[in-house]
Amino acid sequence: MMPNLLTALRLVAIVPLVLLLLPGRGAAAHAAAFWLFLAAGLTDFCDGALARRLKCSSAIGVFFDPLADKVLADVLLVYLAVTAPEWVNVWLVLLMMAREFAVQGFRSMAPCKGIIIRTRMPNKLKFGLQFSFLAVVLAGLAWPRAGGALQPLARVLLELTVAVAYVSMATLFWQNRDLFGRSDARVETR
């Protein structure tokens, strides 16, 4: 229960984050967004550790945790591509979104085949890089004087995130290529 509550907090955090990042809000609001984003990211570490410690992992948590990560990171990524294009390359964001839809579609198909795909290390690395990229951008918006030093770092982190994201996707598809040949699992329709 508690790990899923922490996961849900990541979903809830996106609304105040976007409100704090509205154009014209200023550096103080952007600094608050930076700290809120870090706190939301901390819930990602805590929910999994807590689920393992309390031995309360669930199929819902296995599905919900990566979904919350995607919503938090991807909504923020798209929002920043629109409101801060000097920080976020729109073409790379479009590549990321195409990858996210493909992976989520594949992961959503798996239970129909009787399989639950857990998040593995390549995807965790992708999320870590994406989280780092977003934190650097938010820091640059919050503390504009540091922007000159942070923008090149942000650019490299985004390019690295996209590269790792596609390697992660290829790995996921390859490791689970047998899904297409499996019969559908018995599913109740409501």
Q: Please check whether residue 159 lies inside any domain of the structure.
A: yes
CB atoms within 10 A of CB 101: 12
Residue 36 makes CB contacts below 8 A (sequence gap 6+) with 13, 16, 17, 20
Q: Please check whether residue 186 lies inside any domain of the structure.
A: no
Q: Please check whether residue 126 lies inside any domain of the structure.
A: yes
What confidence tier does 4 reach under pLDDT thresholds 50, 70, 90? confident
Q: Please check whether residue 188 lies inside any domain of the structure.
A: no
Provide the residue range defining the domain that includes 81. Answer: 2-181
- Over range 100-104, report the average pLDDT: 91
Q: What is the CATH number of the domain that holds 39?
A: 1.20.120.1760
Can you give the pLDDT at residue 84?
A: 92
| 12/63: higher pLDDT | 12
Residue 146 identity (one-letter amino acid) = A
Can you give the pLDDT at residue 55?
A: 72
Q: In this predicted model, what pLDDT tens digit does every residue of 137-187 receive, in sequence order? A: 999 999 999 988 999 999 999 999 999 999 999 999 999 999 888 888 877
Can you give the pLDDT at residue 34?
A: 97
Q: Please check whether residue 107 lies inside any domain of the structure.
A: yes
Can you give the pLDDT at residue 120?
A: 81
- Over range 20-47, report the average pLDDT: 90
What's the whole-number average pLDDT of the chain? 88
What share of the chain in percent tops pLDDT 70?
92
Q: Are 45 and 69 in contact (CB under 8 A)?
A: no
Q: Please check whether residue 189 lies inside any domain of the structure.
A: no
Cα 39 off chain centre by? 14
Question: Rounded distance, CA 39 to CA 135, Å?
Answer: 11
Q: Give the chain's domain count.
A: 1
Compute the chain's Rg from CA coordinates. Answer: 18
Calculate the alpha carbon distances from 109 to 53, 65, 75, 115, 116 in Å. Answer: 29, 17, 23, 9, 9
Q: Please check whether residue 19 lies inside any domain of the structure.
A: yes
